[in-house]
Amino acid sequence: DIQMTQSPSTLSASVGDRVTITCRASQSISFWLAWYQQKPGKAPKLLIHTASTLESGVPSRFSGSGSGTEFTLTISSLQPDDFATYYCQHYNGYSWAFGQGTKVEIK
Amino acid sequence: QVQLMQSGAEVKKPGASVKVSCKASGYTFASYGVSWVRQATGQGLEWMGWISAYNGHTNYAQKLQGRVTMTTDTSTNTAYMELRSLMSDDTAVYYCARGTGSHDYWGQGTLVTVSS
């Protein structure tokens, strides 16, 4: 099975900061990667799919990049609503796997 | 608008089974697959499996093989997830999510508590 590893596990940042979260796959997954945001008590929200395609309605301060085994989620200017936990997810049509999550906290 | 409405919270004893439903509306049910994802309190997301609403084909996470069954009822646009031989470690919020790749719509979650 493909394993997904996110770093860091926790990130402390201030409003306005540029934030980058990394996700690494245990083997090449091409561009089959999604990013989700989850707030406490709520279901995850899809932000980005196919590594870099922004989901409709998601603010443009969110961006994704990468292919193969290394991917990044970048928030260009952190807003108060962005403090949450972020997950990467690999999918290939027969198995899916999440990273362990990155919690973005207020510094 | 697309909605996935899940059944209510459940409390089960160890060794029992639970069946959670996910009723879809606002889209053509058979055009998308449905994944089930669970999350223990304070923990990350765990993918459990996926079912095609078109033909019922399933893929299950290896660790749950033999204990989980996912089905759909296209007459009511509902997906079901049954988990058997429940253990305390199965206590979690269970989500259904639409998608054959990434998941763009999610249910509200169903808390399943396993306790003697």
Chain B residue with minimal CA distance to A36?
Answer: B103
Residue B89 confidence (pLDDT): 97
Interchain pair A49, B45: CB under 8 A: no
Contact A88/A73 with Cβ under 8 angstroms? yes
Chain A nearest CA to B88, separation (Å)? 21
Evaluate the CA torsion angle B69, B72, B5, A49 in order and state its sign.
positive
Q: How far is A78 from chain B (nearest CA, A)?
A: 22
Contact residues, chain A, for B63 at CB < 8 Å: none
pLDDT at position A42 over 90 = yes
pLDDT at B62: 94
Q: B101 and A43 in contact by Cβ < 8 A?
A: no
Compare all CA atoms of chain B with the CA of A102 and give the residue at the minimum distance.
B44
- What pLDDT does B74 receive? 96
Task: Report pLDDT for A95.
Answer: 86
Q: Report the residue from B45, B100, B101 with minimal CB separation from A44.
A: B45
**How would residue A1 be classed by pLDDT, with cut points 50, 70 and 90?**
confident
Per the CB < 8 A criterion, the answer to whether B86 and B12 are in contact is: yes
State the DSSP code for B63: G
Query: Residues of chain B whose pLDDT is less than 70?
Result: none
Given a cut of 90, whether residue A48 has pLDDT beyond it is yes
Type of residue at B5: M
The amino acid at A42? K
Q: Of the candidates A51, A54, A47, which has an alpha carbon nearest to the alpha carbon of residue A104? A: A47
Chain A residue with minimum CA distance to B95 = A43
Q: What percent of chain A has pLDDT over 70?
A: 100
User: B103 vs A34: CB contact, 8 Å cut-off?
Assistant: yes
Mutate to test the interface with A, among B20, B57, B65, B102 (most CBs of A within 10 A): B102
Query: What pLDDT shows up at residue A28?
Result: 94
Residue B65: the pLDDT is: 94
In the prediction, which pLDDT does B100 show?
85
CA distance B116 to chain A (A): 25
Give the C-alpha separation, A58 to A45, whole Å: 10
Q: Which residue from A minimizes the CA distance to B94?
A: A43
For residue B41, what pLDDT is reported? 96
Which residues are within 8 A (CB) of B42 and not within 5 positions of it... i.e. 6 or more apart?
none
B21: its two tokens: 């439903």
From B108's Cα to the closest Cα of chain A, the distance in A is: 6
**pLDDT per position as a tens digit, A58-104:** 999 999 999 999 999 999 999 999 999 999 999 987 889 999 999 99
| Whole-number average pLDDT of chain A | 96
CB within 8 Å: B109 and A1: no
